[in-house]
Amino acid sequence: MAEPIFDRLAIIGAGLIGSSIARAARDYGAAGEIAIVDASQQVMARVRELGIADDAGGDMAQALKGADLIIICTPVGVCGVVAQAIAPHLEKGAILSDVGSVKGAVVAQIAPHVPAGVHFIPAHPLAGTEFSGPDAGFATLFQNRWSILTPLEGADASAVARLANFWTRIGAKVETMSPEHHDKVLALTSHLPHLIAYNIVGTADDFGEQTRSEVIKFSASGFRDFTRIAASDPTMWRDIFLNNREAVLEMLGRFNEDLSALQRMIRRGDGEGLFDFFTRTRAIRRSIVEQGQDTSAPDFGRR
Amino acid sequence: MAEPIFDRLAIIGAGLIGSSIARAARDYGAAGEIAIVDASQQVMARVRELGIADDAGGDMAQALKGADLIIICTPVGVCGVVAQAIAPHLEKGAILSDVGSVKGAVVAQIAPHVPAGVHFIPAHPLAGTEFSGPDAGFATLFQNRWSILTPLEGADASAVARLANFWTRIGAKVETMSPEHHDKVLALTSHLPHLIAYNIVGTADDFGEQTRSEVIKFSASGFRDFTRIAASDPTMWRDIFLNNREAVLEMLGRFNEDLSALQRMIRRGDGEGLFDFFTRTRAIRRSIVEQGQDTSAPDFGRR
């Protein structure tokens, strides 16, 4: 196996993403040693049982000693607090990164706490499932998925390259962009779809018991796809919407405009308009499948 | 194998559903002979190549001769025209059914053309994929899926039972309800989700070329699930929205109210409200998986 890219990787937060990075870093030999710290005693106990870290003692100073890559894998809302707590233990030359789904707010929260000589390089792997916690993680989660790095102006190029190598080693494809651009793109590709999915499931939930049970019973007709997305971690998603407010509200405004237009077509019985609209959207699906971003198997291959 | 339930099954329209019924009826021995008629010469040629019918000559009178079950599997918008065309060939005692995703409008279009002595029993199998045409069908499409029958008042009970047996034989679970109730339930579980999926994909498509290519590239972060639904057949969906207008607009109104509430929470930074909302929707997903309406595998099991 190729040489490890980092001597010691410290992961703060052992959820789906953190525990997957730990497993992947070991399986693909991306780090010499792996330390995991989580604020929950229960999660720490589970991490020890799973055996996915070399150091799962739970002591922050100990975990960070000698760490040349530190990845904050907590919900976005607490990453500033975490950065402040770990700052005294960060060693010169180390790379500090994260996996947050928003980048502008994360930069604003973390950057002030980063000591001189430490390279802060924000990152966001576009990977995950609707499950949470250390048991939900797996080593191949990042295979063929994008990991977006959003280095700040004047970032050390060799440090950025080293972090990119780490992600490539564990299976990801790496792209680099500004935090602002990231937040706009993700508002459209991820945050808005999740908001809409949460909303439609909530609408169904608002009906009485009888309707709700019928909705569940007959969910295979379309609804169930939305419920998978709307089953994602509530804390994570609360933090995303609070921290990417402007971009999400802008995309939502556009979505609402378009929905009003569709609504009007239905009300007026504009069959031609509906047909054209529904034809246009098919082409996007085709491109996604062609670019290997999703399976072409019917129903995601779930039969 | 058990005795066939019908001597001769005639299927009008060989799309995903019609061709799947033909395959299933043969594989599970639900009909003695199977005839298929489709308005498209190209589709008829393909049906002959696929060998999924005993009679694929394409002559309507011939196909309906001796048929004791006739299922209209065309888009909803033309089922009235089809009913009118086939009416002279329907034999006394035969059962005429359909597979339309809306039932009130289908009843209104078909019922006036049904000759005396023919049992008209509308049906809707809740099954399908994002693909269309005779090549997309398969015999197991209806396994463990619901088929909803919406018999009219005074319908012949033994004819209803016989049609229910047919659906059970080819793998479906059968439920009976009124056309009006069907249309309300489906507006929520199917029509609204499809409308929303079409809309969000349309919103992305409205951006310029660069954003569109980034949306496709990074679609795995949530967006791609919507594109699958928004890749469904445009003709079929146009007809559904035109023919279930009232129920769809009512559900859309509720959806919009709820979305405004979520929008307000984001604007005001109401983290508690968002967290509560996102927690509530998780429970619905759990019920759907528990009731066997979807896989519990992460990401629909697509890795």
pLDDT of A89: 98
Q: What is the per-residue pLDDT across B198-236, written as a single tens digit (0 to 9) for each?
A: 999 998 888 888 888 898 899 888 888 888 888 888 999
Does residue B303 carry a pLDDT above 70? no
What is the distance in angstroms between the Cα of B113 and the nearest Cα belonging to chain A?
24
Q: Write the DSSP symbol of residue B37.
A: E
Q: What percent of chain A has pLDDT over 70?
A: 99
Does residue A303 carry a pLDDT above 60? no
Is B231 in contact with A281 (Cβ distance < 8 A)?
yes
What is the distance in angstroms between the Cα of A110 and the nearest Cα belonging to chain B?
20
pLDDT of A146: 95
Average pLDDT of the residues of chain A: 94
Three-state DSSP class for residue B50 = helix
Does residue B293 carry a pLDDT above 90? no
Q: How far is CA B81 from CA A120, B74, B78, in A?
A: 67, 10, 5
Nearest of A150, A83, A147 to residue A118 by alpha carbon: A83
Tokens of B192: 């609204």
Q: Hey, is the C-beta of A178 within 8 angstroms of any chain B C-beta? A: no
Length of chain A: 303
Q: Write the DSSP symbol of residue B219.
A: G
**How far apart are alpha carbons B86 and B97 in whole angstroms?**
12
pLDDT of B296: 83
> Which residue, among A17, A188, A192, would best test binding to B if mutated, counting the most B CBs under 10 Å from its CB?
A188
- In A75-134, the residues whose Cβ lies within 8 Å of chain B are 77, 126-127, 129-131
Q: Hey, is the C-beta of B286 within 8 angstroms of any chain A C-beta? A: yes
The confidence band for B96, taking pLDDT boundaries of 50, 70 and 90, is very high
Is A227 in contact with B194 (Cβ distance < 8 A)?
no
The confidence band for A259, taking pLDDT boundaries of 50, 70 and 90, is very high
Is A275 in contact with B238 (Cβ distance < 8 A)?
yes
Nearest of B131, B96, B100, B132 to residue B114 by alpha carbon: B96
Q: Hey, is the C-beta of A227 within 8 angstroms of any chain B C-beta? A: yes
Q: What percent of chain B has pLDDT over 90?
A: 81
The confidence band for B291, taking pLDDT boundaries of 50, 70 and 90, is confident
Q: Which residue has the tokens 């003709």?
A: B235
Amino acid symbol at B106: V
What is the distance in angstroms between the Cα of A2 and the nearest Cα belonging to chain B?
26
Which residues on neighbouring strands pair with residue A96, listed in sequence order? A70, A120
Does residue B53 carry a pLDDT above 70? yes
Nearest of B123, B140, B217 to residue B176 by alpha carbon: B123
pLDDT of A225: 86
> Which residue, among B223, B248, B267, B268, would best test binding to A if mutated, counting the most A CBs under 10 Å from its CB?
B223
Is B185 in contact with A214 (Cβ distance < 8 A)?
yes
Q: What is the four-CA torsion angle of B99, B100, B103, B108, rounded to 10 degrees?
A: -100
Does residue B149 carry a pLDDT above 80? yes
**How far apart are alpha carbons B92 and B278 in whole angstroms?**
55
Nearest of A76, A89, A85 to residue A124 by alpha carbon: A76
Q: What is the per-residue pLDDT across A61-93, written as a single tens digit (0 to 9) for each?
A: 999 999 999 999 999 999 999 999 999 999 999
Question: What's the CA angle centered on B206, arms B202 and B208, to 5 degrees?
Answer: 140
What average pLDDT score do residues A206-214 get?
85
**How far apart are alpha carbons B297 and A132 in whole angstroms?**
13
What average pLDDT score do residues A160-189 get?
97
Nearest of A55, A26, A54, A58 to residue A42 by alpha carbon: A58
Q: Hey, is the C-beta of B206 within 8 angstroms of any chain A C-beta? A: yes
Task: Report the chain B residue with the minimal C-alpha distance to residue A223.
Answer: B189
What is the distance in angstroms between the Cα of A247 and the nearest Cα belonging to chain B?
11
Is B302 in contact with A299 (Cβ distance < 8 A)?
no
Is A237 in contact with B274 (Cβ distance < 8 A)?
yes
Size of interface A-B (CB pairs under 8 A): 335
**How far apart are alpha carbons A109 and A80 in whole angstroms?**
5
Q: What is the per-residue pLDDT across B152-173, written as a single tens digit (0 to 9) for each?
A: 999 999 999 999 999 999 999 9
Is B252 in contact with A263 (Cβ distance < 8 A)?
yes
What average pLDDT score do residues B28-34 get?
98
Q: Hey, is the C-beta of A69 within 8 angstroms of any chain B C-beta? A: no
Does residue A256 carry a pLDDT above 90? yes
Is B255 in contact with A207 (Cβ distance < 8 A)?
no
Is A258 in contact with B199 (Cβ distance < 8 A)?
yes
Q: Select from A131, A221, A285 the Cβ nearest to the Cβ of B231.
A: A285
Length of chain B: 303
Which strand (E) or helix (H) includes residue B201? helix B192-206
Is A211 in contact with B185 (Cβ distance < 8 A)?
yes
Domains and CATH numbers, chain A: 6-177 (3.40.50.720), 181-292 (1.10.3660.10)
Q: What is the per-residue pLDDT across B63-88, written as a single tens digit (0 to 9) for each?
A: 999 999 999 999 999 999 999 999 99
Contact present, A125 and A167 (Cβ < 8 Å): yes
Nearest of B49, B47, B17 to residue B35 by alpha carbon: B47
**How far apart are alpha carbons B110 and B72 in whole angstroms?**
10
Does residue A19 carry a pLDDT above 70? yes
pLDDT of A248: 97
The confidence band for A209, taking pLDDT boundaries of 50, 70 and 90, is confident
pLDDT of A206: 84
What DSSP letter does each residue of chain A carry, written as one string?
Answer: -PPPSEEEEEEE--SHHHHHHHHHHHHTT-EEEEEEE-S-HHHHHHHHHHT--SB-S--HHHHHTT-SEEEE-S-GGGHHHHHHHHGGGPPTT-EEEE--S-SHHHHHHHGGGPPTT-EE--EEE----S--SGGG--TTTTTT-EEEE-PPTT--HHHHHHHHHHHHHTT-EEEE--HHHHHHHHIIIIIHHHHHHHHHHHHHHTS-HHHHHHHHHTGGGTHHHHHHHTTS-HHHHHHHHHHSHHHHHHHHHHHHHHHHHHHHHHHHT-HHHHHHHHHHHHHHHHHHHHTTSS--SGGGG--
Is B291 in contact with A258 (Cβ distance < 8 A)?
no
The confidence band for B22, taking pLDDT boundaries of 50, 70 and 90, is very high
